[in-house]
């Protein structure tokens, strides 16, 4: 198996160099930024896919096509890497919200925009670069698909060549234009929709629903997406971020939220986020906000409801009796917000695989509600536009059956003509419409600040 270790290169610099040197090269960066910690150490850059699977051109149903693609490289799967690099070849991409909602029997109400990306996009990648931030190591690996070792070596040499140049790159120029984003709902309309959800809760339809909205700007000519990624990453470093570059779009996320991870031994983990408080530059005020969040009955209830949803989702593919919650409503602080984060674990049932896990659990409970299907129906009724990739998931699945994924939030979709930023929050019985609007704006602010503007 061709493998090469190189001197340290920061993953964002590597992706930026690739985007500029090979602008037509498709890639997926799984970008772990912010303080080092559990789940925030390794990053992966999968590049130049052998094959692309999209919802419009898969030979079979899209998820079946992913299974078929993984089977093509299963023979090349390696035993666990003692150096800790979990992803060394497989499929990587994203599944959008409406695509996943359709699997659960909830059709989209809004027609797609002509500029929209596909509902699902994955590449089959034989070339992956791993980055270990703790030990500052960079490892390049090429999988010899079909046993073609000569081709794998040639691709390894190509990747190492531009990666060495990336180590000498200067910081991004940071010359992005100032833009204003137009919201798809006014503040009054958003608050009215929160009130509509509260009426559904009082009527007993649901306990919680996640309401979101979009902000859209015209894409300026010559926009450098490497600078966009660098600025968002600097403003909002997050452990489960990503940058996906495809044929007609870029998808960037500074997500703090792991969706589902699966190791080669079948251990499942998900970390839903519910409960938010803003950070404060004053240390004492910041501690007070964190303490308030930890004891907020409303935020804890919001989180616990979603834990129950995800326990049920994981239970559909886990061994009976294996699902447990080792962390419930744990305070976790990020660059711009405090969150309550829970952790749910389970063991994969025999005969099940990573694609089965995605099929059972998407869309994520933290961005739908409880009960999940009814909440999704209300979301389809009330939201003003499609979510698209937002609130879906970026994921990698290795040839060995391991997987990791995020919830696509705190990011930006760049299409040929538009830039789209989205945010929202969970509505429960004691939600206040004005406070929910303020929370949505808090989550959106780091993304809009990338372009020095607002809405």
Task: Just list the catalytic residues.
Answer: 257, 274
Q: Give which of 234, 226, 190 is closest to 446, Cα–Cα.
A: 234
| Dihedral angle sign, alpha carbons of residues 225, 227, 230, 233 | negative
CB 331 within 8 A of CB 288: no
Q: How far apart are CA 416 and CA 419, in angstroms?
A: 9
Which residues 6+ apart lie within 8 Å of 193 measured at CB?
A: 185, 211, 382, 383
Contacts of 223 (CB under 8 A, 6+ apart): 176, 177, 414, 419
For the chain, the C-alpha Rg in angstroms (whole number) is 21
CA distance 422 to 417: 17
First and final C-alpha spacing in the chain? 51
Q: CA torsion sign, 78 to 84 to 87 to 88?
A: negative
352: phi then psi, degrees, rounded to nearest 5: -105, 155
């Amino acid at each position: 198996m061709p493998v090469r270790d190189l001197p340290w290169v920061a993953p964002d610099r590597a992706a930026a160099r690739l985007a500029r040197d090979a602008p037509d090269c498709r890639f997926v960066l799984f970008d772990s930024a912010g303080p080092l910690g559990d789940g925030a150490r390794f990053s992966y850059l999968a590049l130049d896919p052998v094959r692309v699977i999209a919802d419009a051109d898969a030979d079979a149903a899209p998820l079946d096509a992913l299974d078929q693609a993984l089977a093509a490289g299963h023979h090349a799967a390696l035993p666990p890497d003692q150096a800790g690099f979990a992803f060394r070849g497989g499929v990587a991409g994203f599944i959008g919200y409406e695509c996943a909602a359709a699997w659960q029997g909830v059709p989209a109400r809004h027609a797609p925009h002509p500029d929209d990306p596909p509902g699902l996009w994955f590449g089959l990648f034989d070339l992956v670069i791993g980055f270990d931030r703790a030990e500052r190591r960079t490892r390049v690996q090429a999988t010899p698909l079909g046993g073609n070792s000569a081709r794998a070596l040639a691709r390894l040499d190509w990747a190492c060549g531009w990666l060495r140049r990336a180590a000498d790159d200067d910081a991004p120029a940071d010359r992005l234009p100032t833009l204003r984003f137009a919201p798809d709902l006014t503040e009054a309309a958003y608050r009215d929709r929160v009130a509509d959800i509260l009426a559904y809760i009082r009527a007993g339809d649901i306990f919680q629903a996640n309401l979101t909205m979009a902000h859209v700007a015209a894409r300026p000519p010559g926009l450098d997406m490497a600078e966009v990624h660098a600025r968002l990453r600097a403003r909002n470093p997050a452990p489960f971020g990503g940058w996906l570059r495809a044929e007609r779009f870029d998808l960037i996320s500074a997500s703090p939220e792991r969706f589902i991870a699966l190791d080669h031994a079948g251990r499942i983990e998900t970390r839903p986020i519910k409960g938010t408080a803003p950070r404060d530059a004053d240390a004492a005020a910041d501690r007070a906000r964190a303490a308030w969040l930890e004891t907020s009955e409303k935020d804890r209830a919001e989180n616990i409801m979603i834990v129950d949803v995800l326990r049920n989702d994981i239970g559909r593919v886990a061994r009976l009796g294996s699902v447990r919650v080792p962390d419930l409503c744990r305070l976790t602080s990020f660059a711009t917000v405090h969150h309550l984060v829970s952790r749910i674990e389970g063991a994969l049932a025999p005969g099940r695989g990573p694609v089965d896990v995605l099929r059972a659990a998407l869309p994520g409970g933290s961005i739908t509600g409880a009960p999940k299907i009814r909440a999704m129906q209300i979301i389809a009724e009330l939201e003003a536009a499609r979510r698209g990739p937002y609130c879906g998931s970026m994921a990698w699945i290795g040839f060995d059956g391991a997987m990791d994924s995020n919830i696509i939030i705190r990011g930006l979709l760049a299409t040929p003509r538009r830039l789209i930023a989205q945010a929202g929050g969970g509505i429960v019985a004691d939600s206040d419409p004005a406070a929910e609007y303020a929370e949505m704006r808090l989550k959106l602010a780091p993304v809009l600040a990338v372009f020095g503007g607002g809405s």
